Chains A and B, each alone.
Chain A
Amino acid sequence: MPRLRPDPVLLPLVGALCVTPLGFAFVTAARNRLVSGRPVALLEAAEGPAALLGLAGLALLALAALRRGPWLAIIAAALLMAALGWIAGDYATTLSASQPTARVSLGAGFWLMLGLAALCLVEAARQTGRAGTSLATALVAAILALLLLSGTLDQLSILREYANKRDVLGMALLRHVEIVGLAVLPTLLIGIPLGIACQRRPGLGRLVLPALGVVQTIPSIALFGLMLAPLAALAAWQPELARAGISGVGMAPAVLALLLYSLLPIASNTAAGLASVPEPVRDAARGLGMTPSQIFWQVDLHLAFPALLAGLRITIVQATGLAAVAALIGAGGLGAIMFDGLFTGALDLALLGAIPVIGLAVLADLLLRLASPRAIA
């Protein structure tokens, strides 16, 4: 038998995975969606093949932790995550077969175990480098798709909520992307020339960039609030504007505030990217007989592109989160569903709004990182 070489990170995580079910409810079961539920332990909820898969995943993960097998750990952690979803989904299906109005919500125990398994996955993927990260991402995506498409999770409270709100959620998602898009596109048109100007005239840069920094410092809820009064006054003064949809609440103040927030990362990254172009490179381009405008378009912009893309990534991730807050001033989007859930104390509704917001931000981050020429995983 090979010598044991316990992994100092994975082993404590596996230990925590073993004790979590003893202290926290895995799911909660309620008679209907309005009353609060009764805690159900993992050992009570788990049965059949799902329980066996969970045990197998945990055993393999422990083995991987004891013998330093990061590849095995990735597969074992993914199996365990699948089993957790399967167990919760099975329990909800069984319960709702006998009590149709019963609601099963995911409990602290489920989330903690899922989080610990995810930490194992992240650590093991980190140890194996880029290939492991790709495998882990693909496995998680496949498991999520399998659980959702097979209908295993359909009877969980959050998916029942989703079934009721499917159309609303779809519209909200589109609206959310629309708000972000309407803010980011004009930002590029203004921000990139502004960044170029700031880099060429350092005096202007010293004035403009700190001013945009001040805007970034102002919390979103405050900036949205500050937009409200002037825009409402503007609409009252010029009724044509109001008819065109410009008013204190709704899309207009949201898009305007997001635009102001987005200018800093775009302008400052453009300026920084241009400033990082080495002077000898420009000299070489001049030596080749390139005109100033050729140097700008073919050399400067080309070399500044990764920095610009990083600025765009920061902007979109930031705007996705800020657009959720914009629901407070009636802009709609996913934030509207999220705050609906928060105001009425409906956890599943809040999750239904918040999870896609996180999903959008993470997806945008991932895609723009992949698009970057000097991709940093």
Chain B
Amino acid sequence: MIRLLRPALWLGLLLAATFGMTSLRPLFTSLFPLLERPVYMQDSFAALLLAHLELVTVASALAGLIGIAIGIAVTRPWGAAYRGLAETISAAGQTFPPVAVLAIAVPSMGFGPEPAVLALLLYGLLPAVQNTIAGLIQVPDAVKDAATGLGFGPWRRLWQVELPLAAPLILTGLRVSVIITIGTAAIASTVGVTTLGSPVLLGLSAENTAYVLQGAVLIGLLALTTDAVFDAIHDMLA
């Protein structure tokens, strides 16, 4: 129960900020007396949070599933020929800044949410693939041989022996992937996708610091909540 305290606390803060931002109007009015509209009203903050979560969930879930599948495939005997290429690409690709990848991928595929999801997905794959491979190859041969000796088939051995032992590293990869996706999704408002980044961008172009602050606080809280959730899952696995 103690484990769940930290994520619950961050989640509480995130929800309170999302639903309570509008009632903080007096605070923003006193902080920014010169602003005519001190609270972002174009969309409700709840709608922005949902849109952001939808983008991140779709992109990260697909990146996680495909990334783990690739990691499993290239560590099986029939896919081993591809392991080197997968390792090289997932390491080298992460040198590319995610924002630059977004800026290249989205306009070349046409603006809008679908290209943004695809760009986020492609980038999110890299840490997922890298850590799945790292997690699976560090399972000792003796353990795998023992499982085979007990009569485990290759799939049962993967499911009941290799994946549980690789789980902590795979989880680290997923955490990196999701956190990067949350930040890059916020920048995706520059290509016309509505996310929690939208108030920040509108605030920057309209010189409305209150909007910037409101968006930034929610993006930060979302990332910290997600990080705390991953921490809790990690503790439960350990």
Contact = CB atoms under 8 A, between A and B. Distances in A.
Interface string B9-28: 00000000000000000000
Contacts of A214: 224, 227
- The number of chain A residues touching the other chain, given as a range, is 35 or more
A128 B79 CA distance: 20
A342 B191 contact: yes
B103 A221 contact: no
Interface string A217-239: 11111111110110010000000
A207 B220 CA distance: 20
Interface string B153-165: 0000000000000
16 contacts: A7-B81, A122-B85, A123-B88, A126-B88, A218-B219, A219-B179, A222-B183, A229-B31, A321-B97, A324-B100, A328-B204, A338-B99, A342-B107, A350-B107, A353-B103, A358-B96
B183 A221 contact: yes
**Residue from B82, B204, B227 whose CB has the most chain A CB atoms within 10 Å:** B204
Interface in B99-155: 99-101, 103-104, 106-109, 111
B97 A108 contact: no
Interface residues of B, number: 46
B65 interface: no
A146 interface: no
A265 interface: no
Interface string B185-217: 011001100000100110110000100110111
A259 B217 CA distance: 20
A299 interface: no
Pairs A-B, 7 closest by C-beta atoms: A321-B97, A219-B183, A225-B216, A222-B219, A354-B103, A347-B107, A354-B100
**Residue from A127, A329, A357 whose CB has the most chain B CB atoms within 10 Å:** A357
Nearest to A127: B84
B213 A229 contact: yes
Contact of B183 (A126, A220, A324, A357): A220
Contact of B223 (A122, A123, A218, A224): A218
A321 B103 CA distance: 12
A221 B89 contact: no
Contacts of A249: 204
A339 B107 CA distance: 11
Interface in B54-112: 81-82, 84-85, 88-89, 92, 95-101, 103-104, 106-109, 111
Contacts of B171: none
Contacts of A339: 103, 190
A122 B89 contact: yes
**Residue from B92, B107, B111, B203 whose CB has the most chain A CB atoms within 10 Å:** B107
Contacts of B101: 354, 358
Nearest to A249: B204
Contacts of A30: none
B209 A335 contact: no
B48 interface: no
B49 interface: no
B215 A225 contact: yes
A221 B100 contact: no
Interface string A310-341: 00000001001110110011100001001101
